[in-house]
Amino acid sequence: MGNSVASFFINNKKRFSVFIKVLISVILIVYLKNYLGSHNIYESIKNIQIAPALLAVLLMALNVYLQFVKWEIISNQYLNIFTTKEILLSMFYGFTAGLITPFRVGEYFGRYIVFSKSKFVDVTIATLLDKIFNLLAILFFGLIALLIFLNYHNIIELEIALAYLIALIVIAVLIKLSISPGGWLSNFVSKRFENHKSAIELFSNIKKIFRLNKSSKNLIIILSASHYVIYLIQFTLLLSSLTHEMYIVEYVWFGSLVIFLKTIIPPISFGELGIREGAAVYFSAYFNVQAVEAFNTAILIFIINMLLPALAGLLLILKRKT
Query: 160 or 124: whose pLDDT is higher?
Result: 124
3-state helix, strand, coil in the chain (%, to 5): 85, 0, 15
Whether the CB-CB separation of 241 and 294 falls below 8 Å is answered with: no
Residue 197 has pLDDT above 70, yes or no: no
Separation of alpha carbons 285 and 258, rounded Å: 13
Residue 121 has pLDDT above 60, yes or no: yes
Whether the CB-CB separation of 300 and 242 falls below 8 Å is answered with: no
Separation of alpha carbons 318 and 227, rounded Å: 28
Whether the CB-CB separation of 49 and 241 falls below 8 Å is answered with: yes
Separation of alpha carbons 273 and 21, rounded Å: 9
Separation of alpha carbons 81 and 170, rounded Å: 35
Mean pLDDT across 274-284 = 86
**34: closest CA among 301, 295, 273?**
295
Mean pLDDT across 200-209 = 61
Residue 153 DSSP SS3: coil
Angstrom CA distances, 290 to 28, 235, 280, 284, stand at 19, 15, 10, 6
pLDDT at 135: 87
Instruction: Find the angle CA(104)-CA(208)-CA(179) to the nearest 5 degrees.
Output: 90
pLDDT-derived band of residue 268, with 50, 70 and 90 as boundaries? low
pLDDT at 5: 45
* CA distance from start to end of the chain: 42
Separation of alpha carbons 207 and 227, rounded Å: 25
**Concatenated DSSP letters for 5-22?**
HHHHHHHTHHHHHHHHHH
| Count of C-beta atoms within a 10 Å radius of residue 5 | 9
Helix axes 38-46, 13-36, angle to 10 degrees: 80
pLDDT at 189: 54
**22: closest CA among 92, 101, 98?**
101
What pTM was estimated for this model as a whole? 0.81
pLDDT at 153: 84
Angstrom CA distances, 233 to 55, 60, 119, 244, 259, stand at 10, 11, 37, 15, 12
Q: What percent of the chain has pLDDT over 70?
A: 73
Amino acid 67 reads: Q
Whether the CB-CB separation of 78 and 101 falls below 8 Å is answered with: no
Domain boundaries, the chain: 42-321
Amino acid 154 reads: N
- Per mean pLDDT, which range of 74-78, 105-109, 263-267 is the poorest? 263-267
Mean pLDDT across 180-209 = 59
Query: 137 or 8: whose pLDDT is higher?
Result: 137
Residue 42 has pLDDT above 70, yes or no: yes
Burial class of residue 227 (count of CB atoms within 10 Å of its CB; 0-12, 13-18, 19+): buried
pLDDT at 159: 76
Residue 71 DSSP SS3: helix
Residue 94 has pLDDT above 70, yes or no: yes
Backbone φ and ψ for 208, nearest 5 degrees, come out as: -65, -15
pLDDT at 76: 92
Query: 276 or 62: whose pLDDT is higher?
Result: 62
pLDDT at 128: 87
pLDDT at 254: 95
Helix axes 197-207, 120-152, angle to 10 degrees: 60
Residue 6 has pLDDT above 50, yes or no: no
